[in-house]
Structure 1
């Protein structure tokens, strides 16, 4: 079900940008070597960025084989490889701040950016880990900045177990680190409730998809 985008009252007239990460970051250890960091509302002026990206990114609708048929991917996509200009200058600032805070712990910088456009509650991503490439065998980090209307991100231990939920939108940051991509899975579920559009921007190091 489609719902119109509603801007955050806290984001009205806010200047688009990010501040250095610091004491606002809260880490939760999930077990099995996995953790997540959260920084709600880190990107100020996030609604402005949502509108720029929604209109300016050359979004692609993709189809993928699933079992014995080819189906539509239930979201729009755009991937920016390392060295490829990002679609808005503020994303360079975002990546720079993430690298300033995490590069020593990660051991390398974030280099690529993948964008997903969830247009309404029918768009989703199934349970998965970012295990293509080095994420399947090594500890790594995936940093996600969400703009637009909040949608729930669910995480659960790989192999089954209780899930945890974080509602992300309007400039929230989540970083999944340690063994999270190998030992946990995450998903954005479909919903029959009215859901406004959301864009997630995922920053990854080289060789992690």
Structure 2
């Protein structure tokens, strides 16, 4: 019902943040946790429409299991110091940095954007354990801070909801399922990137598009 209400109240064009005091934490295992705030960003559907048409989305291909395959979503990455594609994202990153300063000890500095065009787009089980690309390299550094340190990753979801799944690292049954969209906010913290995995699976039926914005600190990708 929360996500339905967020959609109903998100029909205006005014983009506005709710107070982060409404965040609710769920403790996981091994020092991992998530925090959630449904409908954090009002006017999220208007922001989604702007980003979908104005961001320079690109398709990528990656080497997996001895073959090169299409990445099943479109991507755009904004590194430290690069201007973000909309002032609302800059304001969101600044608000999150201020809120988590005591816990994280540093600001969020990058933003990775993913466009899930329909239910066929997805992302496989993974943790954000790599680093930012080395100079002259096309891919991320495989030994980023998320592989050895506790960190935070903040996900702002725009557009139609898609399920984010979480489970302990190493496989097994899904432990948590969160349908994120329409301005919902989810933070993964503590050891979450090292000891847990997350995924957005393919979804059958008619599915609208979704944009995921991941704010991360230095050296996490």
For the superposition of Structure 1 and Structure 2, which TM-score range results when normalised by the shorter chain? over 0.9
Q: For residues 148 and 117 of structure 2, what CA distance do their matches in structure 1 show? A: 33
Q: For residues 151 and 19 of structure 1, what CA distance do their matches in structure 2 show? A: 22
Give the structure-1-normalised TM-score: 0.94
Q: Which runs of 4+ in 1 moved over 2 A?
A: none
Residue aligning to 1:154 = 165
1:166 aligns with 2:178: yes
Q: For residues 71 and 14 of structure 1, what CA distance do their matches in structure 2 show? A: 38
Alignment gaps of 5+ in structure 2: 1-5, 131-143
Residue aligning to 2:141 = none
1:40-97 CA-to-partner distances (Å, cap 9, x unmatched) read: 0000000000000000000010001111211100000000001000000011110111
Q: For residues 165 and 19 of structure 2, what CA distance do their matches in structure 1 show? A: 27
How far the C-alpha of 1:14 sits from its partner, in A, is 5.5
How far the C-alpha of 1:9 sits from its partner, in A, is 2.0
How far the C-alpha of 1:155 sits from its partner, in A, is 0.2
Residue aligning to 1:115 = 113
Task: Provide the aligned C-alpha RMSD in A.
Answer: 1.1
Give the structure-2-normalised TM-score: 0.89
> How many pairs does the alignment contain?
202
CA contact (8 A) 2:12 2:46 kept: no
CA contact (8 A) 2:152 2:187 kept: yes
SS at structure 2 position matched to 1:96: helix
CA contact (8 A) 1:19 1:97 kept: no
Residue aligning to 2:20 = 21
